[in-house]
Structure 1
Amino acid sequence: MKLSQFDYFLPKKFIAQSPASPRDSSRLMIVNRKTKSISHQRFFELPNILSANDVLVFNDTKVFPARLIGKKNSGGKAEILLLKKLRGNLWEAITKPGFSKGEKIYFPSFFGKITERHNYTSFIEFSIPAKLFLKKINEIGTTPLPPYIKSQVPDHDLRKQYQTVYAREPGSAAAPTAGLHFTKNLIAQLKDIGVQIEFLTLHVGLGTFVPIKVNDISKHKIHSEQFTLEKSVADRLNKAKLYGKRIIAVGTTTCRVLETCAQKVDKEGSYLLIPQSGSTDIYIYPGYKFRFIDSLITNFHLPKSTLLALISTYATLPNSNEKFTDFSKSLAGKAYHEAINKGYRFFSFGDAMFLT
């Protein structure tokens, strides 16, 4: 498949620069792959859409202030985006500008030394103990935002805006944005009508940031991201699946963990979750058959991205009766076209889509 098959044009005015307020006032497009229907509601109406037969699975990762501004040897500005703690005070990060192995980046009272260079990232060893470094991150770090968001909001407020209300496991360089639409009150309402609520963790890293740059999308390699699916959660989800409940992944990160952990258990092709902690580089694009999830709540994604490839997969063969030829001709593509015509807000702070 060619990268050009996953393209669409989005006028800049539709890129959301701030979240909806309140969070659940965002718009919700419902796309039904069986009936090919597209309908429009508000996110706070979710309790009228879901039932006690539904399970919502959330990613409870927490965005930390991963963007650090330091200085080069020359005194010029240097920027670090922390992606993943490797061990002790050694981190994987993106640097701007690029640095050579052995170079140092200076901050008040400590420095970071480049120990390895890779295609997109560097390994950086910091000069202070790990616990102290984490404290310093919270003091001098700022919230990392995607480049298409030009927010002027103070970082104190941004740390709240760019965080789900249920976040609890620090480790992400970006928010699992489908979850930003949920309020505590909305989650309580969903519980009241019997919707099962479950949590797993995937720390969002470079896999989210790196665009597809190869013409043949199958040649693209997704950077691995750390995740945890607890045994108690896997057991409850497996039980729900066996009872015929609808498993709804809140966000593509949740989807990727569930699909990573789903293992075939019989000749009929049934899959159950195997609890585990590790890393995943699962790459979902048309032709992939979903193993465990039934539905997906997600935002509207960038052209030519792995996330657009994932949602294209949901509504095409072998997951529906529609053959994928080009995003613009697919059900998902038609939904995006309608979203633009109706003035939906796109990307991280934008509106939501429920693929069912």
Structure 2
Amino acid sequence: MDPLLTSSYDFHLPDELIATHPASPRDHAKLLVYDRKTDKITHAHFYDLEKYIPKNCALIFNDTKVIKARLYGHKPSGGKIELLINRPLDAYSVNVYIRGKVKPDTEILFDDALIAKVVKLEDDGSRIVEFYQNSEKLRFEDLLPIIDTIGHVPLPPYINREDDKSDEDEYQSVFASNEGAVAAPTASLHFTPQQHKRVCENHKHAYVTLHVGSGTFKPVDAEIITDHPMHSEYYDISDEAKEILDSDIEVLSVGTTSTRTIEYYAKHGKVQRGEANLFLHPNNKPSRVNHLLTNFHLPKSTLLMLVASFVGVEKTLELYEEAIKNKYRFYSYGDAMLIL
């Protein structure tokens, strides 16, 4: 099985295993534990996590906070438009995806007198817009409280339902604090406040921020995975995280987003903040993260390839088959896997 071929990362998932709602309580999700040293698989629940975390191990969490990035509006002519914020490019320019035909200078009208003006059409299908309210151009930080009122939780497309009130809490980690993501770091969603507190009391830990963009869901269309244009996301490594990463303590990364952040830092000159576009796969393995906590990901996705960077393609697909056989729930609201 060639690790550079996109086709190597395909698998069949029965539709009923795509989670449309989270486990309740959060920590009652299933947990598949795979120990690389013994090649042993253990089936557990997320509330068992502490039993499996190595004793002298630091945890790194992503504290990004999901914004209400999906907006429904209309053109002055009345045509309906759906806009999904992807990421800010600077103080005023925002990269977005728009469902509906637009051209430069098109204005899209939303509630609360909010207007998005299309500035540019990008080749990748995204659009660059600027937001206005009452004729005043808005900085991105001034846009956030407005969309918190009129926007919708940007559930991934495979969840295949409209967001509801419960998603405002459920699609957010209990330690989310820095606004800017349009997708949740899903491995984090399993922690209850009590479990997070316990883990942090018993283990060294720190936070990084990676504002997850919608590019995280972009399928790999290229035949060779390294031809895939990897999306870029803003990251910030806290001083506490830097101290851990610059030491020789073992690191358990909570989620693929934390992993990408840590590994970008380790492989690109230990710069604490900037833009990360790291693509981890079996030919570009992690160098600083020792253990990975993650959910189950889409076929042919960069996230699945990241998992394979830890255990190889064959073992990844074997673990996924085991999860399917045992009726694990997949994707953002699904169950978790711990790779030791």
1:125-156 Cα shifts (integer Å, max 9, x gaps): 112333553222111101000111134562x3
1:289-330 Cα shifts (integer Å, max 9, x gaps): 3110001000000001111111111113xxxxxxxxxx4xx1
Counterpart secondary structure, 1:21: coil
Aligned ranges 1:301-316 → 2 under 5 Å: 301-316=297-312
Q: 1:40 to 1:71 in 2, by over 3 A?
A: same
User: Percent of counterpart pairs with the same letter?
Assistant: 36
Report the Cα distance in structure 2 between the residues aligned to 1:315 and 1:299, rounded to whole angstroms. Answer: 15
What residue number does 1:334 align with?
A: 318
CA RMSD of aligned residues (A): 1.7
TM-fit CA distance, 1:223: 1.3
What residue number does 1:247 align with?
A: 251
Are 2:87 and 1:84 aligned? Answer: yes
Unaligned runs of 5+ in 2: none
Aligned ranges 1:1-356 → 2 under 5 Å: 1-108=4-111, 109-118=113-122, 119-128=124-133, 129-130=138-139, 132-151=142-161, 154=164, 156-192=165-201, 194-239=202-247, 241=248, 245-263=249-267, 274-316=270-312, 327=313, 330-356=314-340
Kindly provide the amino acid, as one letter, of the partner of residue 291 in structure 2: S
Unaligned runs of 5+ in 1: 265-272, 317-326
Q: 1:216 to 1:51 in 2, by over 3 A?
A: closer
Report the Cα distance in structure 1 between the residues aligned to 2:286 and 2:90, rounded to whole angstroms. Answer: 34
Report the Cα distance in structure 1 between the residues aligned to 2:97 and 2:149, rounded to whole angstroms. Answer: 20
Report the Cα distance in structure 1 between the residues aligned to 2:329 and 2:267, rounded to whole angstroms. Answer: 36
Aligned residues: 330
Report the Cα distance in structure 2 between the residues aligned to 1:99 and 1:236, rounded to whole angstroms. Answer: 47
1:143-202 Cα shifts (integer Å, max 9, x gaps): 000111134562x3211010000000000000000000111111222234x311210000
Report the Cα distance in structure 2 between the residues aligned to 1:59 and 1:110, rounded to whole angstroms. Answer: 30
Q: 1:51 to 1:5 in 2, by over 3 A?
A: closer
> TM-score, normalization: structure 1?
0.89
Kindly provide the amino acid, as one letter, of the partner of residue 140 in structure 1: I
Q: State whether residues 54 and 196 of structure 1, in contact with CA within 8 Å, keep that contact through their aligned partners in structure 2.
A: yes
TM-fit CA distance, 1:51: 4.3
Counterpart secondary structure, 1:127: strand
1:28-55 Cα shifts (integer Å, max 9, x gaps): 0011223222111111111222244011
Kindly provide the amino acid, as one letter, of the partner of residue 78 in structure 1: I
Q: State whether residues 56 and 250 of structure 2, in contact with CA within 8 Å, keep that contact through their aligned partners in structure 1.
A: yes
Q: State whether residues 187 and 294 of structure 2, in contact with CA within 8 Å, keep that contact through their aligned partners in structure 1.
A: yes
Q: State whether residues 165 and 183 of structure 1, in contact with CA within 8 Å, keep that contact through their aligned partners in structure 2.
A: yes
Q: State whether residues 261 and 275 of structure 1, in contact with CA within 8 Å, keep that contact through their aligned partners in structure 2.
A: yes
TM-fit CA distance, 1:74: 2.8
Q: State whether residues 101 and 115 of structure 1, in contact with CA within 8 Å, keep that contact through their aligned partners in structure 2.
A: yes
Report the Cα distance in structure 2 between the residues aligned to 1:288 and 1:176, rounded to whole angstroms. Answer: 22
> TM-score, normalization: structure 2?
0.93
1:241-283 Cα shifts (integer Å, max 9, x gaps): 2xxx32011000000010000149xxxxxxxx82511001111
